[in-house]
């Protein structure tokens, strides 16, 4: 052994160093080291310096053994000679763009007949039925909560927060409310007084509401600002309301510092616990129905809000109306999870339930938002009959269920689910129903209502399952008489609305023009309402009242709508208000802010809410007239200003010439016209979007030679699972102390050898007991049952199932039997296609995946997989002995060929290669799955581009599945040859029948198969059941086998499998899903080695399509190096892969992550460190705590946003909305194991600033 080799061996023996090369360069010894933790080069440098003190140390991302000369291009840095203020840091990598040379061609759209809807001559006016009042119904809310304690003593209010659940019965609430009332009276509050309630603790808030109602104290609710050290929009709103109400007592909020911050020394606060220590109050308030019971704050994010008065009559009337339309019935349970500072949770749930006698459940908004499926958990657990959310809430659940398609709930008891609070959109509702149908939710459950605080919530109602719940309107008719789109009109030419129904009992509605003249049905205009529940007016604000109420007494809602057949359809917010994820913003707030910026003409700014079909909410668009120069700079200032000041992300920032800035003759901005032009696509070039590029994230997995290095070691007590090929016996000849287990049909034991039936759980228990009794419990499991014979070209299903059981189910049994203590070494034979020609024993892919997942779940127990070349048993046994004592592939996977180890690398895919495309123009294809998720995004684009005829198969029924029906309608809209049949890919006979019918119809054979079908489940190895693995009857494994068999008789047909990077990432809890995908990848490699044209496209994450931010593994996938791609990027990457040669493609690796960079098989950018100027003067030591905490915050931020942000980049530039901010806050608290003021994310809106803030508050934060 040479001296250089000895140094290399010593370096590799260090656990901090993954690989090393020691070379002579310019007369010096240079040690090139690869860190075991790719993001920590400093640690590798330090350890290498200790091992090789006389060598120059150079940290690199990988050793290019095929071209070691490339290492000479890496700069050498002598750390000891660096000048003051200069140091080294990890190289900061980015994801470079990959420009595609072939731009997308538009898919042609068709034209279809449409039916007229407008100018019917029928006035746009409708009147609801009279309100039914039954004997015993209360007249006021105070009467209702007093009587609830008598009539419904077993019912009450349950609150659910992060710390747990609390249930308070109506009698207990009455008692506690009376005690708090005594405390309030002691503070000088009485009938007619005002109070500000801060929604900080749900239970305390409810008690405070009861106290106020019992004492005639008119309360207004505000959100918890989360801190009062610095100003924020929520705190501004609280102080604005407090001032408008003449500075009353604030109940429930910790506002330390706010008095000084706002120069308000009279700011007084109290918490419920301080007010409760009294005797119950007597002499309760007896109001009149017309008296004001509570107040609500108008929408808007800053400044002084308007104060909406809500009467007892309105609240009780809303409850009785809900009973009359059968929204909820007395005795049922309801669930709300939206915050109490909105009026609906208070009026439509909390107080309504007391009026009617219902159990009232209220969950904390952040707790649900951070994990939306908790909503369904609560519905099931508490047998809830009625619940609600704004449209974005249904979207959150649909996204979460897309990532967890196997989850089910028993929700048949849920009678009604209300969608209200913002614009309701058909795509969101269709997908929600599709995802929850198996749990008992159907169209008959969904109810749409329109309402606002000024109308005491619901003024219209529509059950989704009733006629005309959807309205498809031709876009070109939006400015005049509406024309309903026929069924053949392409989706891009029309817009679909959900009807909100007719007026609820006691209400009248109408649609007018700007002069308050009633329009005919079928025209969009101002939506106005009238009824006894309408607010008596804004408190102390005659100007606002004059603007809101028409001269003839109608309330102008500010919404745009139309009437058809007496039913209201809301088309969007009016020009004065923008609704984003349920939060409302005044246009003038944005306009006033932007009008003060340099480069923007004052008074020539328009802010609008543009419908966002993806979320069902709105997006902010800002239109402005720039000064003579500096348009780009002005646009950037606008984005920064609305981000920092209003915490909004502008989707559009559009410069206009003054002549194009639309105004009426009176000078009013015509925002509706701007919205219509935006929806029509006129301003798409100003939207935040990429050029026709994709991230350079496409790779082919390849196997590259590495250098072996023997490691010192001693004897290890080994349990050998002996194979049928002779490897185990050959290996045992050199290991006489080994214990052997063989697979058989009966349990036998002879000295140090056992035979078991691995399908029998009792045999595994007896094996463990026998080894324990003999003192032979192993230190290492050497699993050779996955060392298989050669695979046939076309799978023989019975044999493959036997092999799958050996490679999956039986290994799982072994792991569950022996737990996480022994080292695990699994072995395969020709699993990896190293030279590109050898056959692949693809069933062993399950073994490799299980090994990787075991390493992730049992971090203290080593686990690795060794793939042998398939030489004669004696030769493979010798290779195995060498591999067991070699550093190559330790803790991972290694393939040995020709006496050399090979490890996996990633070969970049740069441009489409010349040659045959995977899809033939005009071809005929079987599509397995593909009606949801990735397939729903890709199929329309591929079918249009290649003019394909498609035969789809799936388990869903389009007759009962509205989401599937809509997808098929869209797919066939352009007259494409598309047919769907119900068939399960696990049923080979059914597949053959469908294909036979399709080929008979086409009078030609299949040209290929696209396999999307899959099932997603998250379970740890301890939670898995070997029986499920032994069956093998899962969509990805069994389906792939059956589809491959279909190819066997169709020469030239191609297979495209859509797979997942989770087959390679080996994350805890993903064994089953990962194994199915790695099996598909390996089978594709087997086919390619045999000359069959096949591709596997293994994906990272699809934004809002595949795994999403609510998936528990999303953050882990990001940390391990997978990108999130949107639908457009995914479609372009698919085309890139389809135009390259057959094989496996990994789409979505993030080369900016060090662990991925270490695998990229290039010789460019090998350096892992770069020089940095630490300061202009004397160097200051880096704060490792700051660095560590910043990295952890950045990881969480990346998991939530899908963006790896620079440490100084403001959060608002990442487009984080209110729900994402809640999720970011929750995940930071979970990751850092400490509470964090929610306001800190706004007050310190960069990674660096937040890190500094958290460390200042707790210097130990980084070490938690």
Closest CA to 752 of 736, 768, 766: 736
- What average pLDDT does range 888-911 have in this prediction? 90
pLDDT bucket at 1218, cuts 50 / 70 / 90: low
Q: Which of 231-235, 994-998, 1155-1159 has the largest mean confidence?
A: 994-998
CB 99, CB 692: distance < 8 Å: yes
Claim to verify: residue 1141 and residue 1238 sit in the same structural domain? no
- What average pLDDT does range 248-273 have in this prediction? 90
Burial class (CB in 10 A: 0-12, 13-18, 19+), 511: buried
pLDDT bucket at 343, cuts 50 / 70 / 90: very high
The set of residues, in sequence order, having a beta carbon less than 8 Å from that of 1010 and lying 6+ positions away, is 925, 926, 927, 928, 930, 935, 1056, 1058
pLDDT at 475 over 90: no
CA distances from 619 to 395, 467, 499, 647 (A): 15, 30, 22, 13
Residue where one domain finishes, among candidates 858, 882, 906 = 906
Distance CA 702, CA 38 (A): 20
DSSP 882-902: HHHTBSTTTTSEEEEETTEEE
Closest CA to 986 of 961, 1013, 1010: 1013
Average pLDDT value for the chain: 87
Claim to verify: residue 673 and residue 733 sit in the same structural domain? no
Lowest pLDDT segment from 598-602, 783-787, 989-993: 598-602
CATH code: domain of residue 657: 3.30.300.30
CATH code: domain of residue 44: 3.30.300
CATH code: domain of residue 472: 3.40.50.12780
Tens of pLDDT, residue by residue over 893-904, are 999 999 999 999
- What average pLDDT does range 932-955 have in this prediction? 85
Instruction: Give me the percent of the chain exceeding a pLDDT of 90.
Output: 53
pLDDT at 109 over 80: no
Q: What share of the chain is helix, strand, coil (3-state, %, to 5)?
A: 35, 25, 40
Per-residue model confidence (pLDDT) at position 1214? 61
pLDDT bucket at 644, cuts 50 / 70 / 90: low
Q: DSSP assignment, residue 669?
A: B
User: How many Cβ atoms from other residues are within 10 Å of residue 127's Cβ?
Assistant: 15
Claim to verify: residue 1018 and residue 952 sit in the same structural domain? yes
Q: Tokens standing for 818? A: 């022996």
- What average pLDDT does range 365-394 have in this prediction? 94
- What average pLDDT does range 611-617 have in this prediction? 71
Claim to verify: residue 547 and residue 596 sit in the same structural domain? no
Burial class (CB in 10 A: 0-12, 13-18, 19+), 150: exposed
pLDDT bucket at 670, cuts 50 / 70 / 90: confident
Per-residue model confidence (pLDDT) at position 1174? 57
Q: Tokens standing for 397? A: 């659940």
Claim to verify: residue 326 and residue 443 sit in the same structural domain? yes
- What average pLDDT does range 1038-1051 have in this prediction? 90
Tens of pLDDT, residue by residue over 554-567, are 999 988 899 999 99
Per-residue model confidence (pLDDT) at position 177? 98
Per-residue model confidence (pLDDT) at position 200? 86
In 667-712, alpha helices (H): 671-679
Q: What are phi and psi of 154, to 5 degrees?
A: -90, -10
Q: Which of 824-833, 1126-1135, 1164-1173 has the largest mean confidence?
A: 824-833
Per-residue model confidence (pLDDT) at position 779? 95
Burial class (CB in 10 A: 0-12, 13-18, 19+), 15: exposed
pLDDT bucket at 593, cuts 50 / 70 / 90: confident
Claim to verify: residue 368 and residue 228 sit in the same structural domain? yes
Distance CA 1158, CA 262 (A): 53
Quick one: how many helices (H) and strands (E) in the chain? 39, 54
Claim to verify: residue 529 and residue 618 sit in the same structural domain? no
Distance CA 1064, CA 1054 (A): 24
Beta strand ranges found along 369-423 (DSSP E): 386-389, 416-419
Tens of pLDDT, residue by residue over 493-530, are 677 788 999 999 999 999 999 899 999 999 989 999 99
Claim to verify: residue 836 and residue 982 sit in the same structural domain? no
Q: What are phi and psi of 140, to 5 degrees?
A: -135, 165
pLDDT bucket at 1262, cuts 50 / 70 / 90: low
Q: What are phi and psi of 241, to 5 degrees?
A: -65, -40
Residue where one domain finishes, among candidates 633, 662, 686 = 686
Per-residue model confidence (pLDDT) at position 104? 34
pLDDT bucket at 920, cuts 50 / 70 / 90: confident
Closest CA to 1109 of 1248, 977, 1217: 1217
Question: Helix (H, G, I), strand (E, B), or coil: what is residue 178?
Answer: helix
**Three-class SS of 464-521:** CCCCCCEEEEEHHHCCCCCEEECCCCCHHHEEEEEEEEEECCCEEEEEECCCCCECEC
CATH code: domain of residue 823: 3.40.50.720
Distance CA 295, CA 305 (A): 12
Per-residue model confidence (pLDDT) at position 1114? 66
CB 459, CB 529: distance < 8 Å: yes
pLDDT bucket at 680, cuts 50 / 70 / 90: confident
Burial class (CB in 10 A: 0-12, 13-18, 19+), 41: buried
- Asked, for residue 136, whether it belongs to a domain, the answer is no
Q: Which of 350-354, 442-446, 619-623 has the largest mean confidence?
A: 350-354
- Asked, for residue 444, whether it belongs to a domain, the answer is yes
DSSP 960-1021: T-HHHHHHHHHHTTT---EEEEE--TT-HHHHHHHHHHHHHHHTS---EEEE-------B-T
Distance CA 457, CA 774 (A): 74
CB 231, CB 257: distance < 8 Å: no
Per-residue model confidence (pLDDT) at position 1175? 46
How many domains does the chain contain in total? 6
Higher pLDDT, 715 or 725: 725
DSSP 1228-1249: HHHHHTS---TTHHHHS-SHHH
Tens of pLDDT, residue by residue over 421-473, are 776 777 778 889 989 999 999 999 999 999 999 999 999 999 999 988 988 88
Distance CA 17, CA 737 (A): 32
Question: Helix (H, G, I), strand (E, B), or coil: what is residue 295?
Answer: strand
- Asked, for residue 130, whether it belongs to a domain, the answer is no
pTM metric for this prediction? 0.53
Per-residue model confidence (pLDDT) at position 103? 32
pLDDT at 738 over 80: yes
Residue where one domain finishes, among candidates 91, 125, 159 = 91
Beta strand ranges found along 1019-1126 (DSSP E): 1054-1060, 1094-1099, 1101-1102, 1124-1125
Q: Tokens standing for 218? A: 């008119």
Lowest pLDDT segment from 82-96, 278-292, 359-373, 761-775: 82-96
- Asked, for residue 795, whether it belongs to a domain, the answer is yes
CB 781, CB 818: distance < 8 Å: yes
Strands 28-35 and 56-59 turn out to be: parallel
First to last CA, the chain: 45
CB 471, CB 568: distance < 8 Å: no
Claim to verify: residue 227 and residue 193 sit in the same structural domain? yes
Burial class (CB in 10 A: 0-12, 13-18, 19+), 960: exposed
Q: Which of 162-166, 358-362, 1229-1233, 1258-1262 has the largest mean confidence?
A: 358-362
Per-residue model confidence (pLDDT) at position 1244? 81
Higher pLDDT, 211 or 405: 211
Burial 67-101 (b: 16+ CB within 10 A, else e): eeeebeebeebeeeeeeeeebbebbebebeebebe
Q: Which of 291-295, 684-688, 1032-1036, 1072-1076 has the largest mean confidence?
A: 291-295
- Asked, for residue 840, whether it belongs to a domain, the answer is yes
- Asked, for residue 96, whether it belongs to a domain, the answer is no
Q: Which of 634-638, 823-827, 1052-1056, 1203-1207 has the largest mean confidence?
A: 823-827
pLDDT at 106 over 80: no
Distance CA 1227, CA 1196 (A): 7
Distance CA 402, CA 1014 (A): 12
Distance CA 279, CA 376 (A): 40
Per-residue model confidence (pLDDT) at position 480? 82
CB 194, CB 219: distance < 8 Å: yes
- What average pLDDT does range 369-389 have in this prediction? 96
Higher pLDDT, 398 or 154: 154
- Asked, for residue 1228, whether it belongs to a domain, the answer is yes
Q: Computed over its alpha carbons, how large is the radius of gyration of the chain?
A: 34
Per-residue model confidence (pLDDT) at position 901? 95
- Please state at what angle helix 1184-1201 crosses helix 1247-1257, rounded to 10 degrees: 130
Burial 176-209 (b: 16+ CB within 10 A, else e): bbbbbbbbbbebebeeebbbbbbbbbbbbbbbbb
Claim to verify: residue 890 and residue 969 sit in the same structural domain? no
Distance CA 1062, CA 1077 (A): 7
Q: DSSP assignment, residue 1160?
A: B
Lowest pLDDT segment from 5-19, 502-516, 609-623: 609-623
Per-residue model confidence (pLDDT) at position 114? 34
The set of residues, in sequence order, having a beta carbon less than 8 Å from that of 519 and lying 6+ positions away, is 123, 124, 511, 512, 513, 525
- What average pLDDT does range 925-954 have in this prediction? 86
Tens of pLDDT, residue by residue over 1080-1121, are 999 999 999 999 999 999 998 887 664 444 555 666 677 788
Lowest pLDDT segment from 344-348, 934-938, 1108-1112: 1108-1112
CB 606, CB 587: distance < 8 Å: yes
Q: Note down the domain range covering 817.
A: 702-906
Per-residue model confidence (pLDDT) at position 105? 31
Question: Helix (H, G, I), strand (E, B), or coil: what is residue 158?
Answer: strand
Claim to verify: residue 379 and residue 505 sit in the same structural domain? yes
CATH code: domain of residue 1209: 1.10.1200.10
Per-residue model confidence (pLDDT) at position 348? 96
pLDDT at 665 over 70: no
Tens of pLDDT, residue by residue over 824-865, are 999 999 999 998 888 899 999 999 999 999 998 888 889 999
pLDDT bucket at 127, cuts 50 / 70 / 90: very high
The set of residues, in sequence order, having a beta carbon less than 8 Å from that of 2 and lying 6+ positions away, is none
Name the strands in the sheet holding 17-25, side by side, starting at the edge strand that comes first in the sequence: 17-25, 28-35, 56-59
Instruction: Give me the percent of the chain exceeding a pLDDT of 70.
Output: 89
- Asked, for residue 913, whether it belongs to a domain, the answer is no
Per-residue model confidence (pLDDT) at position 20? 94
Residue with tokens 């159990």: 359
Claim to verify: residue 490 and residue 583 sit in the same structural domain? no
Q: Is 494 left (phi over 0), alpha (psi -120 to 50) or beta?
A: beta
Q: DSSP assignment, residue 600?
A: E
Per-residue model confidence (pLDDT) at position 491? 55
């Amino acid at each position: 052994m040479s001296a250089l080799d000895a140094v290399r061996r010593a370096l590799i023996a260090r656990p901090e160093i993954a690989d090393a090369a020691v070379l002579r360069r310019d007369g010096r010894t240079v040690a090139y080291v690869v860190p075991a933790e790719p993001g920590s080069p400093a640690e590798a440098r330090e350890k290498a310096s200790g091992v090789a003190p006389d060598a120059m140390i150079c940290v690199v991302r990988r050793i290019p053994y095929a071209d070691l000369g490339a290492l000479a291009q890496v700069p050498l840095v002598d750390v000891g000679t660096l000048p003051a203020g200069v140091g080294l840091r990890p190289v900061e990598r980015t994801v470079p763009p990959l420009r595609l040379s072939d731009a997308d061609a538009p898919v042609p759209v068709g034209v279809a007949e449409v039916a007229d809807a407008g100018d019917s001559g029928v006035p746009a006016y409708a009147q609801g039925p009279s309100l039914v009042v039954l004997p015993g119904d209360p007249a006021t809310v105070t009467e209702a909560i007093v009587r609830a304690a008598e009539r419904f003593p077993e019912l009450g209010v349950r609150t659910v927060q992060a710390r747990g659940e609390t249930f308070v019965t109506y009698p207990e609430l009455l008692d506690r409310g009376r005690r708090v009332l005594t405390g309030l009276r002691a503070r000088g509050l009485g009938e007619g007084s005002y109070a500000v309630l801060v929604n900080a603790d749900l239970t305390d808030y409810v008690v405070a509401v009861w106290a106020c109602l019992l004492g005639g104290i008119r309360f207004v609710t505000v959100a918890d600002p989360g801190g009062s050290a610095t100003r924020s929009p929520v705190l501004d709103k609280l102080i604005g309301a407090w001032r408008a109400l003449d500075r009353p007592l604030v109940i429930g909020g910790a506002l330390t510092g706010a008095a000084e911050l706002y120069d308000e020394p009279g700011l007084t606060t109290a918490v419920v616990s301080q007010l409760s220590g009294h005797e119950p109050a007597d002499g309760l308030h007896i109001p009149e129905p017309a008296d004001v019971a509570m107040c609500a704050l108008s929408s808007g994010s800053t400044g002084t809000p308007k104060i909406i008065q809500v009467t007892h009559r309105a609240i009780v009337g809303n409850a009785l109306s809900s009973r009359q339309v059968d929204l909820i019935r007395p005795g049922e349970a309801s669930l709300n999870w939206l915050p109490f500072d909105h009026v609906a949770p208070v009026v439509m749930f909390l107080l309504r339930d007391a009026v009617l006698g219902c159990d009232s459940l209220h969950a904390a908004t952040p707790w649900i938002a951070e994990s939306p499926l908790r909503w369904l958990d609560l519905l099931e657990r508490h047998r809830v009959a009625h619940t609600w959310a704004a449209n974005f809430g249904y979207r959150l659940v649909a996204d979460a269920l897309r990532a967890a398609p196997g989850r089910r709930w028993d929700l048949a008891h849920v009678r009604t689910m209300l969608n209200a609070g913002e614009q309701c959109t058909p795509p969101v509702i269709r997908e929600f129903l599709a995802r929850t149908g198996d749990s008992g939710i159907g169209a008959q459950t969904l109810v749409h209502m329109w309402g606002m605080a000024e109308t005491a919530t619901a003024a219209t109602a529509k059950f989704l399952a009733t006629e005309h719940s959807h309205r498809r309107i031709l876009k070109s008719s939006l400015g005049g008489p509406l024309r309903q789109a026929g069924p053949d009109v392409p989706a891009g030419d029309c817009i679909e609305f959900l009807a909100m129904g007719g007026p609820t009992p006691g209400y009248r509605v109408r649609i007018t023009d700007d002069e308050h003249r009633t329009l005919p049905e079928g025209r969009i205009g101002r939506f106005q309402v009238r009824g006894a529940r309408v607010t008596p007016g804004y408190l102390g604000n005659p100007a606002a009242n004059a603007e809101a109420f028409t001269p003839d007494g109608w309330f102008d809602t500010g919404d745009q709508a139309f009437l058809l057949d007496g039913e209201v359809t809301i088309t969007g917010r009016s020009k004065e208000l923008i609704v984003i994820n349920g939060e409302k913003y005044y246009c003038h707030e944005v306009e006033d802010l932007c009008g003060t910026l340099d480069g923007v003409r004052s008074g020539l700014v328009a802010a609008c809410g543009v419908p966002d079909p993806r979320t069902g909410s709105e997006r902010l668009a800002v239109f402005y007239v720039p000064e003579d120069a500096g348009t780009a700079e002005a646009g950037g200032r606008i984005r920064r200003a609305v981000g920092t000041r209003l915490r909004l992300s502008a989707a559009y920032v559009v410069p206009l010439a003054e002549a194009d800035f639309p105004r009426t003759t009176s000078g009013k901005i015509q925002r509706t016209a701007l919205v219509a032009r935006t929806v029509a696509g006129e301003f798409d070039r100003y939207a935040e979007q990429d050029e026709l590029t994709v991230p350079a994230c496409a790779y082919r997995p390849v196997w590259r030679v590495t250098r072996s290095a023997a490691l010192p070691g001693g004897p290890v007590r080994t349990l050998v699972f002996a194979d049928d090929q002779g490897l185990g016996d050959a290996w045992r000849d050199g290991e006489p102390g080994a214990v052997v287990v063989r697979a058989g049909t009966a349990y036998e034991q002879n000295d140090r050898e056992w035979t078991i039936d691995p399908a029998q759980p009792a045999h595994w228990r007896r094996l463990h007991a026998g080894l324990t009794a003999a003192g032979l419990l192993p230190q290492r499991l050497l699993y050779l049952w996955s060392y298989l014979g050669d695979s046939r070209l076309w799978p023989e299903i019975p044999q493959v199932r036997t092999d799958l059981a050996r490679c999956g189910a039986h290994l799982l049994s072994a792991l569950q039997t022996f737990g996480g203590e022994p080292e695990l070494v699994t072995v395969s034979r020709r699993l990896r296609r190293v030279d590109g020609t050898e056959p692949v024993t693809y069933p062993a892919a399950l073994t490799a995946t299980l090994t990787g997942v075991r390493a992730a779940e049992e971090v203290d127990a080593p686990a690795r997989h060794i793939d042998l070349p398939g030489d004669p048993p004696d030769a493979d046994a010798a290779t195995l002995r060498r591999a067991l004592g070699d550093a190559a592939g330790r803790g991972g996977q290694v393939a040995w060929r020709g006496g050399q180890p090979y490890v996996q690398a990633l070969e970049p895919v740069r441009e489409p290669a010349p040659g045959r495309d995977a899809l033939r123009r005009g071809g005929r294809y079987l599509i397995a799955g593909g009606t949801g998720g990735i397939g729903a995004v890709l199929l329309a684009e591929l079918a249009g581009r290649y003019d394909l005829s498609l035969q789809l198969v799936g388990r869903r029924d389009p007759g009962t599945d509205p989401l599937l029906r809509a997808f098929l309608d869209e797919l066939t809209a352009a007259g494409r040859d598309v047919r769907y049949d119900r068939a399960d890919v696990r049923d080979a006979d059914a597949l053959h029948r469908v294909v036979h019918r399709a080929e008979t119809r086409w009078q030609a054979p299949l040209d290929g198969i696209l396999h999307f079908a899959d099932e997603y489940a998250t379970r740890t190895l301890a939670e898995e059941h070997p029986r499920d693995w032994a069956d093998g009857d899962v969509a990805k494994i069994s389906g792939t086998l059956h589809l491959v068999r279909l190819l066997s008789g169709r020469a030239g047909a191609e297979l495209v499998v859509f797979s997942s990077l989770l087959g390679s990432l080996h994350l805890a809890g993903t064994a089953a899903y990962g194994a199915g995908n790695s099996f598909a990848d390996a089978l594709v490699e087997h086919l390619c080695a045999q000359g069959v044209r096949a591709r596997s496209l293994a994906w990272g994450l699809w934004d809002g399509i595949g795994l999403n931010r609510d998936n528990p593994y999303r953050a882990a996938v990001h940390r391990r190096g997978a990108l999130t791609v949107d639908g457009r990027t995914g479609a372009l990457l698919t085309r890139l892969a389809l135009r390259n040669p057959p094989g496996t493609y990994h789409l979505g690796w993030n080369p900016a992550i060090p662990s991925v960079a270490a695998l990229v098989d290039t010789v460019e950018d090998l350096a892992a460190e770069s020089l940095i100027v630490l300061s202009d003067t004397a160097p200051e030591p880096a704060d490792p705590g700051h660095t560590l905490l910043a990295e952890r915050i950045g990881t969480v931020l990346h998991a939530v946003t899908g963006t790896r942000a620079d440490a100084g980049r403001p959060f608002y530039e990442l487009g984080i909305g209110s729900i994402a901010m809640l999720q970011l806050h929750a995940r930071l608290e979970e990751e850092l194991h400490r509470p964090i003021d929610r306001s800190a994310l706004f007050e310190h809106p960069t990674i660096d600033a937040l890190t500094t803030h958290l460390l200042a508050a707790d210097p130990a934060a980084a070490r938690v």
